[in-house]
Amino acid sequence: MDLKTIFNVIKDSIPPIHKEGHYFVTIFAVGTILLWAIWSPLGFVGLVATVWCAYFFRDPARVTPEGDSLVISPADGLIQKIEKVAPPAELGLSDEKVTRISIFLNIFDVHINRCPISGEVTVLNYHPGKFLSANLDKASVENERQSVVIKTPDGQEIVCVQIAGLIAKRIVCYLEDKQKVTAGERYGLIRFGSRADIYLPKGVNAQVIAGQRAIGGETILADLKSKAANRKGEIR
């Protein structure tokens, strides 16, 4: 294997950094140089932190399954809980209980958020709140969050909520009201550790299992046309 081939393999193995991360990576890198000038062991610590920062803001390409009725995971992370609850009250939707899939993102997960389904953005709502650990049940209600409602061409509504976590201090959402979106399309991110909640339409059940890991833009969470019950599984 020649050097060019090796270089291309390495290049293809390193995902690009999202534009939101350029500023932070630069700050970390400058800090590393200053620390190294003061004392080399500190510089090494700064180097590790800079590499982690670049890793945190990585933005890998994803292969999104095609299908108008498929609900795709908006985020990488652990499917922490699947339960029946009402959508956030501030959205003005029905208070009937529907299936909610909660995905917890740790600081090593990809934090780019992707649209769960194709359709039109009908509601955008920012709700200020606390910064409790995102793996707590009450984080869905008490934490800072950005909610998005996407209506499919056949009139079904999917709610996707970006929830800030213990050390997340900013939710980024690029969507606009009435915007047409495509499943798997990037629409924002959360810094630095968070949670994503998906509320399915009434009568639609999850086709993933609590404890399973989801891949944003790839994992199928549900099928709007399926009448199947919630999927079950076990650790093996």
Catalytic-residue membership of 194: yes
Q: Classify residue 138 as exposed, middle or buried by CB count within 10 Å of its CB (0-12, 13-18, 19+).
A: exposed
Contact 24/50 with Cβ under 8 angstroms?
A: no
Q: Classify residue 179 as exposed, middle or buried by CB count within 10 Å of its CB (0-12, 13-18, 19+).
A: middle
Distances (CA, A) of 41 to 3, 20, 28, 186, 202: 32, 29, 15, 38, 56
**Using DSSP, how many helices (H) and how many strands (E) does the chain show?**
4, 13
**Active-site residue identified among 40, 69, 194, 226:** 194
Contact 163/143 with Cβ under 8 angstroms?
A: yes
Catalytic positions are: 194
